[in-house]
Structures are given as structure tokens and as C-alpha cells.
Structure 1
């Protein structure tokens, strides 16, 4: 029984690993950065539309990148 308890708590470890991989994905290429900036200037904060133009990116990642970028430029 103790083994099954360990197995279920191991899921939390996977969650933290997934979170770490999401942080890594926030490193955008120069082309991606330029596209996000151009699209934002054209359509505003419509993250799902912007994400649709960048394969492999989600609206959440784009928004998080944009908010991080905006907060560090001030």
C-alpha cells in the first residue's frame, strides 16, 4: 500500500517537471518575437489569434511572454 501512495505523490513531481518545460518554452526566437510584436500592434491582445500564427505556441505562452517582456522593459 505504501508503494501506491508513493506513486500518486510522484504525480506532483511530473507537474513540476512540466512547469519547468513550460518556462523553457518562453525562450522565443527573434522571428517569433518580431511576429508577436507585429501581430500585437495590428490586432492587440488577441493571444489565440497570435498563437495561431506561431506553430507550437499556445495563447497562454504568448501572453506570458508579452507580459514578461513588458514588465522587464519598464
Structure 2
């Protein structure tokens, strides 16, 4: 349980930053971002599979994060 409290603390600190930038941007921790990138390389845009590896995240959140973070750099 201590581990989950630690990770939620990291996530909530990122969420506090998102309020300053606008509520449309989804914030992820460094660990979550690294995992999303690795999983994307393995399975592509299968957001539900990626979400299954990140507790508390939905496929929609991950897709929105990916699109906002990486889609403009790949075009």
C-alpha cells in the first residue's frame, strides 16, 4: 500500500501542474510515459492493451496523452 501512495503522490503532483496549463492535457508520470512508449513500440495503437499495464489509466486517457504528446512530432 505504501507503494501505491507514493505513485499516486507523483501522479497528483503532475495533475496539479495540468491545472495551470489547461484541463485538456493529460499528465503522466515519467514511469507511465516510459511504459506507454515501450508498449506502443510493441503493440502499436492498441490502447486497451497498454492501459492494462498501467493501473488506474483508461485506454482513452492513454490515447489522448499519446495524441497530444507525440502526434504533432511525427507529422
Common topology (TM > 0.5): yes
RMSD: 2.0
TM-score normalised according to structure 1 size: 0.63
The number of residues matched between the two structures is 53
TM-score normalised according to structure 2 size: 0.62
Q: Give the unaligned 5+ runs of structure 1.
A: 1-19
Q: Deviations over 1:4-29 (max 9, x none)?
A: xxxxxxxxxxxxxxxx8x747x2100
Instruction: Give the match for residue 37 of structure 1.
Output: 37
Q: Deviations over 1:2-55 (max 9, x none)?
A: xxxxxxxxxxxxxxxxxx8x747x210000000000000001000000000000
User: 2-side partners of 1:49 and 1:39: how far apart?
Assistant: 8
SS in 2 for 1:73: helix
**Poorly superposed stretches of 4+, deviation over 2 Å:** 71-74
Instruction: Give the match for residue 66 of structure 1.
Output: 66
